[in-house]
Amino acid sequence: MRSEKNSDYNVVVYCASSNQLRPVFTQAATRLGELLAQNGITCVNGAGKEGLMGALNDAVLQHGGRVKGIIPRFMSDAGWGHDELTELVVTETIHERKALMADTADAVVALPGGMGTLEELAEILTWKQLGLSHHPIILLNVDHYYDPLLAFFDKMISERFMRDDFRRMWLVADTPEEVISLLQNYPEWNPTFGKYTRKEL
């Protein structure tokens, strides 16, 4: 990402929709939303109005930024969607939602989250491993939330379920400010590391 503002740059953010979280997580989501808006980055997420996703969306909008929400119809019909997003896309299935989010992404940030966030993160990392994606993937490790997952990644590598080169598939930030710095200065991913790399990448 260039250092100047670029509203064509889309960052997909995976995060929790639970409201029963410690304030440190909500504060990080709010600050990330503020920084995305200030840097002219379009925030793309699951269009939720609750939990970290709601805090993120509210912060982006309050600071004049853009949010593109992508939500499957059953969630929209259940009233889970945020009502004031810049753009809202309703898909027929959750699988279509995930594919569209991945296709839209210039980068991915994973805030702390539950099973859904973990599943989305694992999928996009797998796509990168297979050479289907080459964009930066950043884990925002608020209050060391992702330390156990990072240790599990180390275990995968030490047991040779994953090559050591694949450590470069993800980046880790401790603060929202560091996320923005990594987006502006992320190291180039060499797709030749992938198992099945498409030549055009």
Give the residue-averaged pLDDT of 26-44: 98
Domain membership flag for residue 2? no
**Can you give the pTM of this predicted structure?**
0.90
Q: Give the C-alpha separation, 86 to 91, whole Å.
A: 17
pLDDT digits (tens, 9 = 90+) for 60-118: 999 999 999 999 999 998 888 898 899 999 999 999 999 999 999 999 999 999 999 99
Domain membership flag for residue 22? yes
Q: Give the C-alpha separation, 131 to 125, whole Å.
A: 10
Sign of CA dihedral 80, 118, 104, 62: positive
Domain membership flag for residue 68? yes
Structural domain that includes position 148 = 10-185
Domain membership flag for residue 158? yes
Domain membership flag for residue 139? yes
Predicted confidence at residue 81, as pLDDT, reads 82
| Total domain count, the chain | 1
Domain membership flag for residue 195? no
CB contact at 8 A, 95 and 73: no
Domain membership flag for residue 198? no
pLDDT digits (tens, 9 = 90+) for 150-200: 999 999 999 999 999 899 999 999 999 999 999 998 877 766 655 554 444
Domain membership flag for residue 141? yes
Write the CATH number for 59: 3.40.50.450
